[in-house]
Amino acid sequence: MILTVSKVKVSPDGLAFVDAAPDALVCVAPSGRITLVNAQTERLFGYRRQELEGELVEVLVPEAARAVHARQRAGYVADPVPRPMGAGLQLTGRRRDGSTFPAEISLSAIDTGDGTLIAAAVRDVTQRRRQQDELERANRNLASFAYSIAHDLRTPLRALAGFSAALIEDCGDGLGQVGRGYAERIEAASEQMSALIDDMLHLSGVSRAVMNVRPVDLGAQAATIAGRLQRDSPERSVRFAIQQPAWVRADLVLVRTVLENLLGNAWKFTASRANASIEFGTRADGADGHVCCYVRDNGVGFDFAYVDKLFRPFQRLHKASEFPGTGIGLASVRQIVERHGGQAWAEGAVGAGATFYFTLEAEEI
C-alpha cells in the first residue's frame, strides 16, 4: 500500500523511517506550504502535525525573520542544490509557544514530477552552541591567563635576577665567596624560570595560533635550518642527508617550528659524535592521504622505557648539565602535528641514536 501525502509517495515503512529520524524533517511545497512533517518536528516545535500541514513554513520561523525567509525560500526553489541553509549564519527556530532555539538546517530538493518539494532537516543545536560558548570562554580565559603570566611573573623575576646581580656587584666583598655563589645561584635560577615562562607561552601560542594550511616543501625548510645550525657552530662536522623536495600540506610557520625542534635536538644530541649524521626524509606508509616524515640521528639516543615522557611538557630525559633545554620542544612538536590531524612518535635506544616520526597531510602533485 502506498500513502500519498500531498504528492510525495511514502510507504508505511518509509513513514516509520521518517518518524524515527533524530532530526525534525519538514517537507515544503513551492508555494511555501508544509506538506509533511515527522514525529521529531512535533516534539521540537510543539505542534501536532495536523496543525502544521498546509501552513506556510514561516510559522516555524521567528516573526522578525519571516519576510527574509520567504524571499530566500523562493531563491532556493529556483536553484535547489542540497546544502546547509544560511551557511555561517546563526539560524533560529520558533516553537508553538513563541520560544526560540538555535537551529542547524540542511536543505535538499525532491522532484515529484509536477513541482519540486523542498525537504528541510532541522536540528536543535542549543546544547552544542552552549558547549561552543563555553569552549570559547575557556580559550579566552587561557589567553588572558597566559598574558598575565608573561607580565606579572616576569616582573618579580627581574627583581630576583637584578638584585642578586646588584648584591654581587655592590656588596660582593662583604659576601665572601660562598655568599657570592648563593647570589649567583639565585640569578641563574631566575633566568631559568624566565626561559620556562617563555617556552610555556610559546606552547600556549602554538595551540592558539590561526592555521593557514597550504603546500610546504619540508625538504627545503629542513635544508635552510640545517644550514643555519652549521653556520652557528662552524667547528662541528655533521653529515646532513635531506630529502628534497618533500611536499606536505601544513601551516608553514608551525611546521617550521616542528623541524627546528627536531633538527635542533638531533644537532644537540650528536654533539659528542665524531661522525655525526642527521637525516630528514619521508616514507610512503602514511595512512590515508598522509605522509610519514622522519628526522633520524646517530646521537646519544634515549632509554625507550621513557618514550612516553618525551613528548610531555617540561619532561627531560637528560640532565640540564649535559644538554641544555627546558623540555618544551617535543611537546610543541606533538601539539603542532596533532593540530594538523597527524601523529608524532619516537624510536631510539641509549647510545644508538633516535628517530622522530610525524605524519602530515600529503600534497597531491
Q: Which residues bind another protein (CB under 8 A)?
A: 147, 150-151, 154-159, 161-163, 165-166, 187, 190-191, 194
Q: How far is the CB of 190 from another protein (least distance, A)?
A: 6
| Least separation in angstroms between CB 154 and another protein | 4
Please answer whether residues 204 and 148 qualify as being in contact, where contact means their C-beta atoms are separated by less than 8 angstroms: no
CA-to-CA separations, 183 to 158, 190, 218, 293, in angstroms, rounded:
14, 11, 45, 46
Instruction: Report the nearest approach of another protein to the CB of residue 169 (Å).
Output: 8
Cβ proximity of 175 and 168 under 8 Å: yes
Nearer to another protein, 16 or 195 (CB): 195
Placement of cell 597531510 in the chain: 361
Contact predicate 118/107, CB 8 Å? yes
- Judged by beta carbon, residue 104 or residue 199, the one nearer another protein is 199
The C-alpha cell at 58 is: 514561516
Nearest distance in Å: CB 184, another protein = 12
Rank residues 129 and 202 by Cβ distance to another protein and give the closer one: 202
Q: Based on CB atoms, which residue is closest to another protein, 194 or 277? A: 194
Ramachandran class of 353: left when φ > 0, alpha when ψ lies in -120 to 50, beta otherwise: left
Kindly state the smallest distance separating residue 200's Cβ from another protein, in Å: 14
- Nearest CB to another protein, comparing residues 12 and 162: 162
Asked if 194 contacts 157 with a C-beta cutoff of 8 angstroms, the reply is: yes
Parallel, antiparallel or unpaired: strands 247-251 and 276-283: unpaired
